[in-house]
């Protein structure tokens, strides 16, 4: 009887500790592609990713439409309340996908500052992350035609190479969303923003990287 009681206590303790375990916090930083149809919309890629990862993760959408990575861009992410909210959230995992709006001519005139601004933003967020926190730098989805002033040549050529180097130099993991959607123009109806199916592909690719 004593052995049975001890076993029951051990099982109860294990169950209690497991139940009380804090979810792994995932912050998704980005522009309208991250914000999607709305931060709380289940079609947004962060919430689709939440459904894939399950309750052991807490995924929060910090996307802000139209924002740039560049400090000198027309609408810098740096100036948004979400920038501070990410730091207050102190994520275990940071997923950052910015750059699409930076390709607009009025922003890309500061292309020489893109790399350093990106490295600085990652460094700012890392200050509030745990020592073993992970950063995933996302290669944005392809731009299939010029729209909203967003330039395919910049996005698909110049910027892709820069983002690869940024991920390497910051010690971050690179996740490629360009290749999975490269031949799926029908999933980017306006040439820039993925539809719900496209957002679902994004969610699966990033979730897979996080689980590795």
Mean pLDDT (whole number) for 140-154: 93
CB 37 within 8 A of CB 43: yes
Mean pLDDT (whole number) for 49-67: 98
189, pLDDT greater than 60: yes
pLDDT in tens, 105-118: 999 999 999 999 99
CA dihedral sign, ordered 200, 140, 40, 57: positive
Tell me the whole-structure pTM to 2 decimals: 0.88
Bridge partners (DSSP) listed for residue 173: 136
User: Can you list the domains of the chain with their CATH numbers?
Assistant: 24-211 (3.40.50.1110)
User: Which distant-in-sequence residues (6+ apart) come within 8 Å of 70 by Cβ?
Assistant: 76, 102, 107, 110, 113, 114, 117
Q: Where are the beta strands (DSSP E) in the chain?
A: 24-30, 57-61, 93-97, 134-139, 173-176
């Amino acid at each position: 009887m004593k052995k049975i009681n001890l076993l029951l206590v051990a099982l109860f303790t294990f169950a209690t500790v497991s139940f009380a375990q804090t979810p792994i916090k995932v912050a998704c930083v980005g522009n309208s592609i991250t914000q999607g149809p709305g931060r709380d919309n289940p079609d947004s890629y962060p919430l689709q990713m939440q459904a894939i990862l399950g309750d052991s993760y807490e995924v929060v959408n910090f996307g802000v439409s139209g924002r740039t990575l560049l400090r000198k861009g027309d609408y810098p992410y740096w100036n948004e309340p979400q920038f501070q909210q990410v730091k207050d959230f102190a994520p275990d995992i940071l997923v950052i996908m910015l750059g699409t709006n930076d390709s607009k001519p009025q922003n890309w005139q500061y292309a020489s500052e893109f790399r350093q601004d990106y490295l600085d933003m990652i460094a700012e967020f890392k200050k509030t992350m745990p020592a073993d926190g992970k950063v995933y730098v996302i290669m944005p989805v392809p731009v299939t035609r010029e729209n909203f002033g967003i330039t395919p040549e910049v996005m698909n050529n110049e910027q892709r190479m820069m983002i690869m180097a940024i991920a390497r130099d910051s010690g971050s993991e690179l996740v490629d969303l360009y290749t999975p959607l490269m031949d799926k123009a029908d999933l980017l109806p306006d040439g820039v923003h993925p539809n719900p199916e496209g957002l679902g592909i994004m969610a699966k690719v990033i979730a897979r990287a996080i689980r590795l």
